[in-house]
Structure 1
Amino acid sequence: MTRVSVLIVDDEVGFATALSKRLNKRGMDTRLVTSGRDALTVLAEEEVDVTLLDVMMPGMDGIKTLGEIKRLHPDTQVLMFTAHSNSDMVISCLAMGAYDYVMKPGSLDELVGKIREAAQKRQRNLAQDSGPEATTG
């Protein structure tokens, strides 16, 4: 598989920077932003395989950002990422189209595995969208 592109959206800059470096060492290309609005700007300018999205952020929170990402960029896979979770929030995010939900800080190996799975799902979806029936006209 080619390098996975990951957009990290988290207002905790120190944590997100450290995570970005760790994911880069695992062969991923990362980009870091600190707000939902900045995430939408990046996604409008470039394709990203997986968005790692913090739920609790000032301004546009992760749930609102998820809704906008799925509306504007439905092929982008989103992993919700937070230290604060409850079952209603998890169910809501999954119903809105999040690929999965991970706790932070959590296991780096688990996170990398979920990022790779989400990126593979995106590639499968894109391949289906560009299949023979999509190219006939």
Structure 2
Amino acid sequence: MQRARILLVDDEVEFTETMKRLLEHRGYEVTAVDSGPNAIKAIGESKYDVMVLDLKMPGMDGIATLKEINKLQLQTQTLVLTGHGAISTALEAQKLGAYDYLTKPCDIDELIEKLEAAKKESENNNKKRSLLGTLTKGLRKK
């Protein structure tokens, strides 16, 4: 089975370094970036199964980042990280297509569980898209 590719987006360097090590130890391939613009650049250059996105970042926040990434029409699933006071913002992110959210500090086992579920959703969406493409090609030939 192929290792899941994770894009970790958070301006808290200590948090991302720790989370990156923990996830890599669990077998994930992790890229960490510190801002929304860097996330948009990374996701435009490489394919990720899941993006873990902090909502509270200076400059471009998580909501603005998610809106920009949605414009790229990629199939990357998004898990949102939020502080206790920003649950309504996390729910707004889900309305924008985020798969789920976690509150900080998050338990690594809970994060892994949600990453696996999001990865599976991403794989299912890719299979559906592939099937749809095959069906569409078949219909065009008739």
- TM-score scaled by length of structure 1: 0.94
Provide structure 1 residue ranges, at least 5 long, that are not aligned to the other structure.
none
- 2: CA distance, partners of 1:46 / 1:86: 30
- 2: CA distance, partners of 1:116 / 1:57: 25
- 1: CA distance, partners of 2:108 / 2:81: 12
- TM-score scaled by length of structure 2: 0.91
SS at 1:56 equivalent: coil
Superposition pairs for residues 64-75 of structure 1, below 5 Å?
64-75=64-75
Deviates more, 1:1-10 or 1:65-74: 65-74
Identity %: 38
Change (3 A) 1:49 1:134: farther
Contact 2:55 2:90 (8 Å CA) reproduced: no
Contact 2:80 2:101 (8 Å CA) reproduced: yes
Q: Greater Rg, structure 1 or structure 2? A: 2
Change (3 A) 1:95 1:112: same
- Equivalent residue for 1:43? 43
SS at 2:39 equivalent: helix
Alpha-carbon distance, 1:121 to partner: 0.4
- Tell me how large the CA RMSD over aligned residues is: 1.3
Contact 2:37 2:65 (8 Å CA) reproduced: yes
- Equivalent residue for 1:63? 63
Deviates more, 1:126-135 or 1:46-55: 126-135
Q: Give aligned pairs, total.
A: 137
Alpha-carbon distance, 1:61 to partner: 0.3
Change (3 A) 1:87 1:11: closer
Task: From the two aligned structures, give the one with the greater helix fraction.
Answer: 2
Provide structure 2 residue ranges, at least 5 long, that are not aligned to the other structure.
none
Superposition pairs for residues 88-99 of structure 1, below 5 Å?
88-99=88-99
- 2: CA distance, partners of 1:96 / 1:109: 25
Q: Deviations over 1:2-57 (max 9, x none)?
A: 21100000000011110000000111000000000000001111100000000000
